[in-house]
Chains A and B, each alone.
Chain A
Amino acid sequence: KEYERIIKELFTITNDEGVVLFNTSADSAPFMPIPTQHDDPTQKQKQNQNQSPIPETNRHYHQYHSLIQPDQYFKVQRSPNGKLNLVFNDTFVSLQRTDTEVQSEQPIPPRHPSDTFVFPDSPIAKYRPPQSPARPLRNDTKEHNPCAKDESQHLRNFCTNVDDYPDLSGLTHKLKNNFAKFFSNDLQPTDVSSRVGGSDERFLCRSIRKLVYPKKGLRADDTWQLIVNNDEYKQAIQIEECEGADQPCDFAANFPQSYNPICKQHYTQQTLASIKSDGELDVVQNSFKIPSCCKCALKTG
Chain B
Amino acid sequence: IYGGMKTKIDEFPWMALIEYTKSQGKKGHHCGGSLISTRYVITASHCVNGKALPTDWRLSGVRLGEWDTNTNPDCEVDVRGMKDCAPPHLDVPVERTIPHPDYIPASKNQVNDIALLRLAQQVEYTDFVRPICLPLDVNLRSATFDGITMDVAGWGKTEQLSASNLKLKAAVEGSRMDECQNVYSSQDILLEDTQMCAGGKEGVDSCRGDSGGPLIGLDTNKVNTYYFLAGVVSFGPTPCGLAGWPGVYTLVGKYVDWIQNTIES
Contact = CB atoms under 8 A, between A and B. Distances in A.
Interface of A: 186-202, 209
Contacts of A189: 187, 237-239, 242, 245
A191 B244 CA distance: 14
Given A198-B162, A198-B208, A200-B28, A193 B244 contact: no
A195 B208 contact: yes
Given A192-B184, A194-B110, A194-B211, 9 more contacts: A189-B187, A190-B239, A194-B234, A195-B233, A195-B247, A197-B162, A198-B162, A201-B162, A209-B239
A189 B189 CA distance: 13
A196 B50 contact: yes
Contacts of B247: 195
Contacts of A191: 237-238
B209 A196 contact: yes
Contacts, number: 84
Contact of A192 (B163, B208, B235): B235
Most buried by B among A189, A191, A194, A200: A194
B82 interface: no
Instruction: Describe B's contact surface by its main secondary structure.
Output: loop
A32 B195 CA distance: 57
Contacts of A197: 28-31, 156-157, 162-163, 208-209, 211
B44 interface: yes
A194 B29 contact: no
Contacts of B210: 195
B135 interface: no
Nearest to B51: A194
B254 interface: no
Given A195-B156, A195-B207, A190 B238 contact: yes
A84 B157 CA distance: 51
B242 A196 contact: no
B234 A195 contact: yes
Contacts of A187: 242-245
Contacts of B46: 194, 196
Contacts of A198: 30, 157, 162, 208-209
A191 to B, nearest CB: 4
A196 B187 CA distance: 19
